[in-house]
Amino acid sequence: MAYRDLAIRLSSEGKHHFVASALEDGKSVASSSFELRSDELRITKRLRELEKAAAKPESLVTFHKDFGQMLYGKVLAGDLKSYFQKQIDANGDGLRISLQFDDNAQWLATLPWEFLHDGEDFLVASAIS
């Protein structure tokens, strides 16, 4: 399968407010605004819980999927979601997604983006991305 590149830039518009933009030739072609509060994520605590639960049956461990769906729903929304879906549907090619973080949004880079989940699969495990 051939893969096309899709760059998504994440930047801050103020405290807890961010923009995700799909880039073509360095220019934004679709974007979505979202709110994300570090305190609502409780990511460190939840990741510790995930580590402890690793030995449990798969059906009991859902944090990574739940977190991934929440993150996907916030970041890939509106125009960006439509653009993303068009890119997936185009030519049957897969997408190689790269995330770029502006200096004002560096803490977002610490999130476990490998958990991005579209409701059917983790993007990192999907044949299309």
Instruction: Give the tens place of pLDDT for each residue, 90-120.
Output: 867 788 999 999 999 999 999 989 999 999 9
Q: Which residues of 52-75 are buried (b: 16+ CB within 10 A; e: fewer)?
A: eeeeeeeeeeeebeebbbebbeeb
For residues 21 and 28, give the distance between their C-alpha atoms in angstroms, rounded to a whole number: 6
Q: Is the pTM of this model over 0.85?
A: no
Segments forming the whole domain that contains residue 79: 3-125
**pLDDT score recorded for residue 3:** 85
Instruction: Give the tens place of pLDDT for each residue, 29-54.
Output: 999 999 998 776 677 777 777 777 66
CB 34 within 8 A of CB 79: no
Structure tokens at 14: 């103020």
Q: What's the number of domains the chain is made of?
A: 1
